[in-house]
Amino acid sequence: MENSIIKVVNLSHRYSVQWAIKDINLDIKKNGIYGLLGANGAGKSTIMNIMCGVLKQTGGDVYIRGISMLNDPINAKRFLGFLPQKPPVLSELTVEEYLNYAANLRLMDSNDIDDAVTEVMEKVGIGHFRRRLIGNLSGGYQQRVGIAQAIIHKPALVVLDEPTNGLDPNQILEVRNLIREIAEERTVVLSTHILQEVQALCDHIWMINHGDVVFSGSIVDFDNYIIPESLLVTMIGAPSIDELKNIAGVVEVTELGNYRYKVKFESAQEATERIVEMSVAKGWRLTEIIQEKNSLEAIFTELSNKNNL
């Protein structure tokens, strides 16, 4: 457990009679970006709030650098930075005042605070706003201030709950780049219900559905979870759809327009070989044949339905 940056063991929590999460187990041993993916209400925020000591769990424990969050929360939190879904900023303070306040909350040495505040403002790109009231900043810059308070003490682990929620497309790209920079030096765990977010950022994901982990693996593993069952074929001199359907291994053919066809198959290898052979023999002028890649949305739906069975 000492080798783990964070280890979640049999974590469960119940609100009244309803279990929000049940027997969650996670283990992170190296830096990178790790995603908790799930629909709203899946249990992501509950897991994060317990991980960060905001909520006391019904059962199980969380260990940060081997320190129990349940039994020794003060020391465990020294290694932790947390940005909740709504940034915990104080609108009546300037950026500099607020980060000084956050540094003191982190029990940082008073001699180090001024340098730490300056460094973190430059890190997240808000140095030019140091004397601006937080309430007068845009949502994107308030999010940057929230991230700054989470990393000012240089924690080993940074936990971000829906970090791009409510931001416009440009702000989302800026925050994603910032998260990548942070992950070069420390471990980042983020939650999101946005599939494109994990695809753009995460090295490893856990999908949460109704309080259970229904998938754990890399984004490549996630993307390949469902074996594709169709080919995308482009043929300038294509035959009739009925003739394509009669090819061995082909189950169904759909015309997509612009000489493109979607071909469902029983065996990818057999269908591909026969289409290539027939194209050469009959002059169909095959220009492209690729195995269709499943959308993240399709995989998400498949995993969710699997868990509901």
What is the Rg, in whole angstroms, of the alpha carbon atoms belonging to the chain?
A: 25
Q: What's the pLDDT at 306?
A: 63
CA angle 269/271/276 to nearest 5° reads 95
Classify strands 187-192 and 212-218 as parallel, antiparallel or unpaired. unpaired
Q: In sequence order, what E strands does the chain have?
A: 6-15, 18-28, 32-37, 59-64, 67-68, 80-83, 157-161, 187-192, 204-209, 212-218, 230-235, 250-257, 260-265, 286-291
Sorted by sequence, the CB contacts under 8 Å of residue 304 that are 6+ apart come out as 39, 209, 214
Classify strands 80-83 and 157-161 as parallel, antiparallel or unpaired. parallel
Ordered mean pLDDT values, 10 residues apiece, the chain (309 residues): 87 93 94 91 92 95 96 94 93 97 95 96 95 95 96 96 89 93 94 87 92 90 74 89 88 89 85 90 91 70 65
CATH 1.10.3470 matches 230-293: no
Q: What's the pLDDT at 221?
A: 84
Give, in order, the Cα–Cα distances in Å from 107 to each of 104, 159, 173.
Answer: 5, 19, 32
Q: Do the Cβ atoms of 171 and 140 come closer than 8 Å?
A: yes
Q: What's the pLDDT at 193?
A: 87
Taking residue 58's Cβ as centre, other Cβ atoms within 10 Å add up to: 15
Sorted by sequence, the CB contacts under 8 Å of residue 299 that are 6+ apart come out as 222, 223, 225, 226
Q: What's the pLDDT at 16?
A: 87
Taking residue 266's Cβ as centre, other Cβ atoms within 10 Å add up to: 11
Q: What's the pLDDT at 296?
A: 63
Q: What's the pLDDT at 227?
A: 66
Q: Do the Cβ atoms of 293 and 199 come closer than 8 Å?
A: no
Helices (H), 125-267: 139-151, 169-183, 195-201, 219-223, 241-245
CATH 3.40.50.300 boundaries in the chain: 6-223
Q: What's the pLDDT at 226?
A: 65
Taking alpha carbons only, the member of 239, 242, 238 closest to residue 252 is: 242
CATH 3.30.70 boundaries in the chain: 230-293
Sorted by sequence, the CB contacts under 8 Å of residue 206 that are 6+ apart come out as 26, 34, 35, 36, 37, 213, 215, 216
Structure pTM? Answer: 0.78
CA angle 161/190/26 to nearest 5° reads 115
Q: What's the pLDDT at 110?
A: 94
Q: Is 124 left (phi over 0), alpha (psi -120 to 50) or beta?
A: alpha
The upper half-sphere exposure of residue 272, i.e. CA atoms within 13 Å in the direction of its Cβ, equals 12
Q: What's the pLDDT at 41?
A: 86
The CATH homologous superfamily of the domain defined by 6-223: P-loop containing nucleotide triphosphate hydrolases (3.40.50.300)
Q: What's the pLDDT at 2?
A: 61
